[in-house]
Amino acid sequence: MTHNTPEFDVIARHFTRPAPNAVLGVGDDSALVQLSRGMELATSVDTMVSGTHFFPDVDPENLGHKALAVNLSDMAAMGAMPYWALLALTLPKVDHDWLAAFAKGFFDLAEEFGVSLIGGDTTRGPLTLTVTIMGEVPAGAALRRGGAKVGNDIWVSGFIGDAALAVAHRHGKLVLEEADYREAVMRLYEPTPRVPLGQALRGLATAAIDVSDGLLADLGHICKLSGVGATVELASIPLSPIAAKHAGTDAGRSAIVAGGDDYELCFTAHPNSRESIQDLTRMLDVPLTRIGQVKRGKGVSLLGPDGKAVKIDGRGFDHFSAP
């Protein structure tokens, strides 16, 4: 293929930037990176499909941010340092204004976290974005899902539920005031990946996950892999002022505990680590809240203010579950 085709035009105009932390970036058959001694390669991939993961009318700059943010969030959840990303783009057509805005959202966030785009693929078809992220974590120190122990505390960062409330509003399941919707939808489109927090939790957290599919579902993944159960106190889940207005309704409550897309970290830690974890709140300026306890047994129970189990509709997002 010669270099003046639309495909190469897209790559050259929008996705070829210096990659200071790579040996070789965009342009060859493969990128090259040098791993540091004593480090493991942490890598993961996430696909976002139009209509499934984002509304088709999404602002392309927000989308560029989000496509990378969800991957940075996976690095955060492992306690890894993200360095390199690959972007596979499937586009219905070439729209340079759209691509320029998408690239701005992507590269602004990449620069903030010192990540280089080192390669990708560009194809035609229904709008789909796949980002592969790679980073490093000291050998043996990654935060896995399987390390939670009975008696550990359960923590979450930030506030839970705003992104899912925006989705519930779009789907007509509840109604947010206009200003609240505008704020909540930014949490949906421009989540803040908790990368510094993830790294700071190495040696403190016994298990960690990022909240992408829903708080209860994601905590359930920790429980399953750790062979434990968990209780979460509904009243202790940290809520923004917006979410607090809806926590009393069934639809609001289910968005908060079972909706996803917050990209906060949920982690477990020994009670002896409480002070060190609270210190991180100040050092990193991220709220960290204890929401429950790891128990013997299986599954996650949600407890109401009276200590009784609360039933919730829906337990998180699953692409292949029956509607």
- Contact residues toward ligand ADP (CB under 6 A) are 11, 15, 26-29, 87, 89, 117, 119-122
Q: Which is nearer to ligand ADP, 15 or 155 (CB)?
A: 15
Angle (CA) 171-214-79 rounded to 5° is: 135
User: Residue 94 contacts by C-beta under 8 Å, 6 or more apart in sequence?
Assistant: 6, 9, 10
Q: Which is nearer to ligand ADP, 89 or 294 (CB)?
A: 89
Q: Which is nearer to Mg ion, 121 or 250 (CB)?
A: 121
151 binds, among ligand ADP, Mg ion, none (CB under 5 to 8 A by kind): none
Among 95, 108, 121, 177, binds Mg ion (CB under 5 A): 121
User: Residue 137 contacts by C-beta under 8 Å, 6 or more apart in sequence?
Assistant: 39, 40, 42, 78, 79, 80, 81, 202
108 binds, among ligand ADP, Mg ion, none (CB under 5 to 8 A by kind): none
Q: Which is nearer to ligand ADP, 28 or 111 (CB)?
A: 28
Nearest approach in angstroms of CB 47 to Mg ion is 16
Nearest by Cα to 129 from 53, 213, 192, 26: 53
Q: How much of the chain is helix, strand and coil, in % rounded to 5? A: 35, 25, 35
Residues 233 and 155 sit within 8 Å (Cβ to Cβ) = no
Q: State the virtual CA torsion across 275, 280, 283, 284 in degrees, nearest 10.
A: -160
28 binds Mg ion (CB under 5 A): no
Which listed range, 17-25, 71-79, 115-123, 269-277, lies at the site for Mg ion (CB under 5 A)? 115-123
Nearest approach in angstroms of CB 67 to ligand ADP is 11
250 binds, among Mg ion, ligand ADP, none (CB under 5 to 8 A by kind): none
Nearest by Cα to 117 from 126, 129, 128: 129
Q: Which is nearer to ligand ADP, 120 or 161 (CB)?
A: 120
